[in-house]
């Protein structure tokens, strides 16, 4: 399991003006409207799963990482990760961050670190963890459903 020492855990500074971070009211309003759950990619995937006859639970807070979708019968956890928040194509994206870099780079890298830790914790609990980027859900839905179904079919044969 990934056990980060206290020095290895990425520290995210508080987003306050006294810490050197600033945002406009307009930007702050836009950011406040970003949802943590029931996002459009999540809803799209849930509807597609429901259509195939799969039943699931949402946001099980007793599991590490508060998974987006839980198929307990198959010991399957599904996360739908937003590109910005979870570091899609991070090596290129991190260079494009122009404002409040110290905050945003630490924030996203800590999210990525937490994702790894939660995935390992869930696997140790006997779950299979699938992570999809929101762009995969929007552009390659059938491939996502096929991957889920492939795992479920495998579980049924065991």
Q: Each residue of 101-119: pLDDT tens digit?
A: 888 888 889 999 999 999 9
Q: What is the pLDDT of residue 17?
A: 60
Q: How far apart are CA 128 and CA 122, in angstroms?
A: 8
What size, in residues, is the chain? 158
Q: Each residue of 67-96: pLDDT tens digit?
A: 999 999 999 999 999 888 888 989 888 888
With 90 as the cut, is the pLDDT of residue 29 above it? no
Q: Does pTM top 0.85 for this prediction?
A: no
Number of H helices, E strands in the chain: 7, 4
CATH number for the domain formed by residue range(s) 17-157: 3.40.960.10
Residue 100: φ, ψ to 5° = 50, 40
Q: What is the pLDDT of residue 131?
A: 97
Q: How far apart are CA 88 and CA 82, in angstroms?
A: 8
With 60 as the cut, is the pLDDT of residue 22 above it? no
Q: How far apart are CA 121 and CA 126, in angstroms?
A: 9
Q: How far apart are CA 144 and CA 44, in angstroms?
A: 11
Q: How confident is the model at residue 26 (pLDDT cuts 50, 70, 90)?
A: low
Q: How far apart are CA 77 and CA 94, in angstroms?
A: 28
């Amino acid at each position: 399991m990934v056990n980060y020492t206290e020095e290895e855990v990425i520290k995210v500074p508080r987003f306050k003006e006294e810490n050197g971070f600033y945002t406009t009211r307009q930007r702050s309003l836009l950011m406040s409207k970003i949802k943590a759950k029931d996002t459009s990619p999540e809803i799209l995937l849930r509807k597609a799963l429901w259509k195939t006859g799969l039943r699931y639970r949402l946001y099980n807070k007793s599991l590490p990482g508060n998974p987006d979708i839980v198929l307990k019968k198959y010991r399957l956890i599904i996360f739908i990760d937003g590109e910005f928040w979870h570091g899609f194509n991070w090596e290129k994206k991190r260079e494009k961050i122009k404002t409040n870099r110290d905050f945003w780079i630490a924030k996203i890298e800590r999210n990525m670190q937490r994702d790894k830790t939660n995935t390992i914790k869930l696997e140790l609990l006997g779950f299979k963890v699938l992570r999809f980027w929101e762009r995969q859900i929007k552009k390659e839905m059938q491939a996502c459903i096929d991957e889920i179904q492939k795992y479920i079919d495998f579980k049924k044969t065991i």
